[in-house]
Amino acid sequence: MEGDPREALLVKPVEEDEVDLKTKLWVENKKMWVVAGPAIFTRFSTFGINVISQAYVGHIGATELAAYALVFTLLTRFANGLLLGAANGLETLCGQAYGARQYHMLGIYLQRSWIVLIFLTTALVPVYVFATPILIALGQDEDIAKEAGKIALWFIPVIYSFIVSFTCQMYLQAQSKNMIITYLAVLSLTIHIFLSWLLTVKYHYGVPGAMVSTILAYWIPNIGQLIFVTCGGCPETWSGFSTLAFKDLWPVIKFSMSSGAMLCLELWYNAILILLTGNLKNARVAVDALSICLNINGWEMMISLGFLAAASVRVSNELGRGDSKAAKFSIVNIVVTSTSIGLVLFVFFLFFRERLAYIFTNDEDVAVEVAHLSPLLAFSILMNSVQPVLSGVAVGAGWQSVVVYVNLGCYYLIGIPIGVILGYVIKLEVEGVWIGMLMGTLVQTIVLMIITKRTDWDKQVSVARTRLKRFFVDDQPTDGSSAL
């Protein structure tokens, strides 16, 4: 039928004129950095919220620092992984739909994702309410666990903020409209720095003061994103709230579950590292030092996660557009760029050691332990420059269910058992646990590289088209389901 928009899903893209490699690289890098640049900056700002909070809490006391580290690294990584992973299903669908120019579908997907994530978040609340007995049952120090239980209650509004934050970011990234997120993140970070100083240093409100500032810092960008999305910032992809959001939720739930499992297995990996360390001798120093190292590693991960976002958007857009060659070229370009940056940072962190620890603590024992762990930190940074990009490729192509098995095998059947043997049996303690975890990450990276290299990308184009045609037909408005 002439003018049928479904034809966009069936027509192959027009072949582009042959261009030299330099021109292709220039064009591809511009497309990559349009997504990666704002994504990296936004993640730096968002991660900075936690770093600032932890820095102020750390100067209140060592027990408070260890408690905050447990709640954020163990419990909140649990929530973060589940919710971010569930939202990754939205990233695949929005990216491929936008590439295929099926713009109306993005707003429906966004609303469906909100519904799914609200239920998931509410199911996580008891974990925070009963944080103290949970942590004690897991073998953590009782004093630290009691303080962590108090801090955990403050994190309940934070985990609800993830619903809007993750979904809106992925919805906007698919359209390369994520600069607005960057502006809001910078505003939020600036306010957080001032409020944290005001409430903890000037007025001495302690941990409650730091957490009030943290909650506001997470919610300010969300309010701005919602206003931008619903009030004219995305006229092509947002046409109002619709009852279609409640239709056919089960396919979205299944896609979200596989995405959530993929990322949860990855993010909980570091959480288990903290948990195992909490059972070693001199746990306070070990947990404090390791949490500082993971925070520094987390800063670098913000760069890698920016490239993860770029890989996901570029691959999903090109698959939606039907261009398998462009998708493969994007993957190579992003992997090479991210790895090059990782090599520079690897050398940098080898030379700065304990000097970075004093940003977070005044305890010399903790700083010395950080210096001791620095070589492992540097190797983690190097590997993290490759692995997240490959995960982004999986998200863009919609392979989340495959990566679940890869993560399960590499992390939990290889990395953690080796870490336990090295740390507890061979008595290498923190270093042994971390070496084991690094080995799991290395194996996972190699497996993902093999999968990516052996993938039939022409077949992936067909898979993306089939998915979009199915959702396109299912999501057409009827007389009884118009926008509200």
Cβ-based neighbour number of residue 175 at 10 Å: 19
Q: Rounded distance, CA 407 to CA 444, Å? A: 7
Alpha-carbon distances of 165 from 117, 280, 318, 404, rounded to whole Å = 11, 36, 25, 24
Q: Transcribe 284-306 into DSSP letters.
A: HHHHHHHHHHHHHHHHHHHHHHH
Going 453 to 455 to 456 to 460, the CA torsion angle's sign is negative
Report the C-alpha gap between 381 and 302 in whole angstroms.
11
- Domain-wise residue ranges, the chain: 23-472
Closest of 93, 22, 122 to residue 255, by C-alpha: 93
For residue 119, what is the enclosing H or E element? helix 104-129
Q: Collapsing DSSP states into helix, strand and coil, what is residue 260?
A: helix
Position 120: which residue type?
L
Residue 483, SS3? strand
Q: Closest Cα to residue 404, out of 346, 464, 444? A: 444
SS (H, E, C) 345-373: HHHHHHHHHHHHHHHCCCCHHHHHHHHHH
HSE, side-chain direction, 13 A CA sphere, residue 30: 5
pLDDT score, position 479: 38
Quick: pLDDT tens for 328-386. Answer: 999 999 999 999 998 998 888 788 776 777 777 777 777 887 888 888 888 888 888 89
> Of the candidates 397, 400, 404, which has an alpha carbon nearest to the alpha carbon of residue 456?
397
The helix/strand/coil state of 313 is: helix
**Under 8 Å CB-to-CB from 355, ≥6 apart: which residues?**
none
> Is residue 200 within 8 Å of residue 56, measured between CB atoms?
yes
Instruction: Return per-residue pLDDT of the chain as tens, 484 residues.
Output: 444 444 444 444 444 445 678 888 998 999 899 889 888 888 888 888 888 998 899 888 888 888 898 888 778 877 877 888 788 778 888 888 898 888 888 999 999 899 989 999 999 999 999 999 998 988 888 888 999 999 999 999 999 999 999 999 999 998 988 889 889 999 999 999 999 999 998 898 989 999 999 999 999 999 999 999 999 899 999 988 888 888 877 767 777 777 777 777 776 676 676 667 666 665 667 667 777 787 777 778 888 888 988 998 999 989 988 888 999 999 999 999 999 998 998 888 788 776 777 777 777 777 887 888 888 888 888 888 898 899 889 888 888 888 888 988 998 899 889 988 998 888 887 788 889 888 998 999 999 999 999 998 988 888 888 777 765 544 554 433 333 3
**Quick one: angle between helices 249-277 and 400-407, nearest 10?**
20
Q: Biggest alpha carbon distance in the chain?
A: 74
Choose among 236, 254, 249: nearest CA to 398: 254
Over the stretch 27-80, which tens digit does the pLDDT of each residue have? 899 989 988 988 888 888 888 888 899 889 988 888 888 889 888 877 887 787
Q: Specify the DSSP class assigned to residue 15.
A: P
> What is the CA angle 381-385-388, rounded to 5?
115
Per-residue confidence (pLDDT) for residue 148, from 0 to 100: 92
For residues 284 and 38, give the distance between their C-alpha atoms in angstroms, rounded to a whole number: 37
**Cα–Cα distance measured from residue 48 to residue 64, given in angstroms and rounded to the nearest whole number:** 19
Q: How many helices (H) and strands (E) does the chain have?
A: 18, 0
Angle at 219 between CA 217 and CA 220, to 5 degrees: 70
Output the pLDDT for position 270.
Answer: 67
Buried b (16+ CB within 10 A) or exposed e, 7-31: ebbeeeeeeeeeeeeeeeeeebeeb
CA neighbor of 126 nearest in space, from 92, 82, 83, 75: 75
Closest CA to 98 of 172, 14, 16: 172
388-408 b/e with 16+ CB inside 10 Å = b? Answer: bbbbbbbbbbbbbeebbebbe
Residue 452: phi, psi to the nearest 5?
-65, -45
8 Å CB contact between 49 and 188: yes
